[in-house]
């Protein structure tokens, strides 16, 4: 089975450009709200994406690891908010 190749630089630039168009003329608060909503959606998808990655690499999906990762992200988010 041939490994799937990703064009990460092109993907990143495309996402950046789409976000720039969507955020043009928006206030700072609107931009923050936009990215918080995107982060929330990604957090909801994270367990599925990680389990798919594990399966694609030939392993089994281990949801206990997913929980540890999600909790770590949440802790970092809280500590970051407190530092501001």
What does the pLDDT look like over 31-59, one tens digit per residue?
Answer: 999 999 999 898 888 878 777 777 776 76
Rounded CA gap, 37 and 8, in Å? Answer: 22
Scored b (16 or more CB within 10 A) or e, 61-73 reads: eeeeebeeeeeee
Structural domain containing residue 22 = 8-83
Let me know if residue 39 belongs to a domain: yes
Residue 20: pLDDT band (50, 70, 90) is: very high
Rounded CA gap, 20 and 40, in Å? Answer: 19
Let me know if residue 63 belongs to a domain: yes
Let me know if residue 1 belongs to a domain: no
pTM flag (> 0.75): no
Number of domains in the chain: 1
Mean pLDDT for 74-80 is 77
Mean pLDDT of the chain: 81
Let me know if residue 67 belongs to a domain: yes
């Amino acid at each position: 089975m041939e490994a799937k190749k990703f064009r990460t630089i092109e993907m990143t630039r495309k996402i950046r450009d789409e976000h720039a168009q969507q955020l043009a003329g928006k206030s700072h608060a609107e931009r923050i709200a936009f990215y918080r909503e995107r982060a929330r959606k990604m957090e909801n998808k994270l367990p599925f994406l990680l389990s798919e990655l594990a399966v694609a690499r030939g392993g089994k999906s281990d949801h206990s690891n997913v929980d540890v990762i999600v909790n770590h992200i949440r802790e970092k988010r809280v500590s970051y908010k407190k530092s501001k």
